[in-house]
Amino acid sequence: MTLVSTQPIAGQKPGTSGLRKKTKVFMATHYLENFVQATLDVVGASGKTFVLGGDGRYFNDRAAQVILRMAAANGAARVIVGQGAVLSTPAASHLIRLNKTDGGIILSASHNPGGPDEDFGIKFNMPNGGPAPESVTEAIFQRTTTLTEYHMTEAQDVDLAQIGRHDLAGMIVDVVDPVADYAALMETLFDFPAIAAMFSAGFTMRMDSMCAVTGPYAVEILENRLGAAKGTVVNATPLPDFGGMHPDPNPTWAATLMAEMMGPNAPDFGAASDGDGDRNMVVGRGIYVSPSDSLAVLAANAHLAPAYAKGLAGIARSMPTSAAADRVAVALGIESYETPTGWKFFGNLMDAGRATLCGEESFGTGSDHIREKDGLWAVLLWLNILAVRGESVAAILAAHWRRFGRNYYSRHDFEGIATPQADAMMAALRARLPDLPGTQVHGLTIEAADDFAYTDPVDGSVSTAQGVRVFFAGGTRSVFRLSGTGTEGATLRLYLERYAPGPAGLSEDPQMALAPVIVAAHEIAAIATHTARDTPDVVT
């Protein structure tokens, strides 16, 4: 074992979901090593067992070998690694829990593109399987600012291609099948025979794995175990650069899937997942399901799946996610929770048994079966509901809106803004907050405005400055926040919502339905003045 001298490297501050930087930054001398040592210093490594895996993007394999050598040098007892150093984020979360380990290290920049000129990322998950809370990520960041050395074992690479047990300088390395335990878990949650019967009766599906990590999982579960036609899963081979695609399952980046689902020969059901497999997009024949609606529909119908037959303890959603799920919670007579953006805020609620289903507007849905959002889980819950109800996605959505009303919803992203300009815009907006209530903007009356702060109901921790909310009369809302996952400049996320109680006006185009609040939001934040931008790069 050697002790390597290093110096603190500025900017190793985890964002919404771990540390994400350009791959070349991670590949620079000491960069990865410093962050891993800071993490191991904070969580402690001696005698511990960790899970390790990533989404298979460029540098995943080499980073995994470095982390194994460092874990051994820091005295870890055992590391469970996915074969080829690959694990989807949900599968990693499950392995952490299943094996009662001391946590895990996940290598991913999730929905960000991969490759030598794109993005890489790393995060630590706790023994509950969930992303480290802010108290831990902040401690890791503080440690990176004082670090002067790290521990490294001198050894050859471990053969991660072979399933089985290896020894690395006294540390056990267990290379496991990345799919098997996850697929087994899914079988315990859902009515596989009912879904298989639906497929054998002619139900058709397209699953776009976007050349990212879910390919092998989706082929095994959908095609091999549930009997979906061979070829149901496309872009099923994970590639280090995701085939040049942007593995972000939304209508913009999964355009091929969208075109097929809106076309004349559309299958009954379509879905896509992201780089690390925790996100999902769901599409019916001829109809897109917004993630906020998806959460609400899943919550209203979850009892149709075996795992949730006894009902839900509560529903949690991130603040920018639409209030559609809240209406379901009221109808079910259960609690609903509104948390800051990022899955780490759901962990305490699930651990405490207060929330069963959680969701984010950013194509993330999940439940307390693990402590990450779970793309294939959401797809399987939809399939289970479709199999039991025997109706189309469009019919299920229409019935949902008739019962609960419709929360028209959209997110507009403005990418690559110079950070000082984005910061100035948010500062100016925050300064206006006290004056906004009572004012009229383009015919809309502002009822309230604030900067979202959250007090965790379980441990009392407080998170402030989580995004500006502007509430208009009648359930209309706009939210402004800056992304915490990007690696270049700033991304402004503008979230827009309008409630239509029905029965009239439930089938408008969302952008049309939201047009007044879009105009008002641009004016309130003076987006064009600060950023010289008036049209978004991505609309979801």
Whether the CA torsion 28, 34, 36, 39 is positive or negative: it is negative
Give residue 38's identity as a one-letter amino acid code: A
Which listed residue (240, 243, 475, 484) binds ligand VG1 by CB under 6 A?
484
Minimal CB distance to ligand VG1: which residue?
110
Of the residues 48, 327, 469, 493, which one makes contact with ligand VG1 according to CB under 6 A: 493
Q: At CA 94, angle to CA 214 and CA 483, rounded to 5?
A: 65
Give least dist CB 187 to Co ion, A. Answer: 23
Phi, psi of 346 (to 5 degrees): -85, -20
> Under a CB-based contact definition with an 8 Å cutoff, are residues 414 and 496 in contact?
no
For the CB of residue 498, give the shortest distance to ligand VG1 in the complex, in Å. Answer: 20
Least distance (Å) from ligand VG1 to the CB of residue 375? 9
What whole-number distance in Å separates Cα of residue 74 and Cα of residue 17?
25
Stretch that binds ligand VG1, among 258-266, 284-292, 357-365, 500-508 (CB under 6 A): 357-365
In the window 258-277, what residues touch Co ion (CB under 5 A)?
Answer: 274, 276
**Shortest Cβ 279–Co ion spacing (Å):** 5
Please list the alpha-helical segments (H only) found in 333-392: 347-351, 375-389
The region of 79-87, 149-157, 159-167, 339-347 touching ligand VG1 under the rule CB under 6 A is 339-347
Neighbours of 6 (CB within 10 A): 16
Q: Of 49 and 365, which has the nearer Cβ to Co ion?
A: 365
Sequence-distant (≥ 6) Cβ neighbours of residue 231 within 8 angstroms: none
**Ranges assigned E (strand) in 100-252:** 104-107, 119-125, 149-152, 164-168, 171-176, 205-208, 233-234
CA pair distance 27, 462, nearest whole angstrom: 35
To the nearest whole angstrom, how small is the minimum distance from the Cβ of residue 430 to ligand VG1?
18
Picked from Co ion, ligand VG1, none, the partner binding residue 364 (CB below 5 to 8 A depending on kind) is ligand VG1
CB of 295 to ligand VG1, least distance (A): 12
Task: Provide the token pair at 345.
Answer: 């805020």
How many Å separate Cα 115 from the centre of its chain?
A: 20
Work out whether 483 is an interface residue with ligand VG1 (CB under 6 A).
yes
The tokens for 175 are: 């290379």
Which of 88, 110, 290, 478 does the annotation list as catalytic? 110
State yes or no: residue 343 binds ligand VG1 (CB under 6 A): yes
CB of 18 vs Co ion, minimal distance in Å? 10
- At 353, list the tokens: 């048994």
Tokens of 46: 């001696």
- Between residue 242 and residue 301, which ones bind ligand VG1 under the rule CB under 6 A? 274, 278-279
Which residues inside 107-146 make contact with Co ion, applying CB under 5 A?
Answer: 110
CA distance 127 to 48: 11
Q: Which does 485 bind (CB under 5 to 8 A by kind): ligand VG1, Co ion, none?
A: ligand VG1
Q: What are phi and psi of 309, to 5 degrees?
A: -60, -30
Name the residue nearer to ligand VG1 (CB basis): 484 or 489.
Answer: 484
When asked if residue 111 is in the footprint of ligand VG1 (CB under 6 A), the reply is yes
DSSP element (H, E) containing 2: strand 2-5
Residues 108/52, Cβ–Cβ less than 8 Å: no
Q: For residues 41 and 248, which CB has a smaller minimum distance to ligand VG1 in the complex?
A: 248
| Euclidean distance between CA atoms 215 and 192, whole angstroms | 19
Q: Is 173 exposed, middle or buried (0-12, 13-18, 19+ CB in 10 A)?
A: buried
Q: Does 209 sit near Co ion (CB under 5 A)?
A: no
110 catalytic per annotation: yes
The yes or no reply on residue 362 touching ligand VG1 (CB under 6 A) is: yes
- Our finding on whether 341 is near ligand VG1 (CB under 6 A) is yes
Nearer to Co ion by Cβ, of 34 and 108: the residue is 108
Name the residue nearer to ligand VG1 (CB basis): 74 or 88.
88
Number of residues that bind ligand VG1 (CB under 6 A): 18
DSSP annotation of 18: B
Among 33, 41, 278, 456, binds Co ion (CB under 5 A): 278
- Chain positions contacting ligand VG1, by CB under 6 A: 16-17, 110-111, 274, 278-279, 318, 341-343, 360, 362, 364, 483-485, 493
- Chain positions contacting Co ion, by CB under 5 A: 110, 274, 276, 278-279
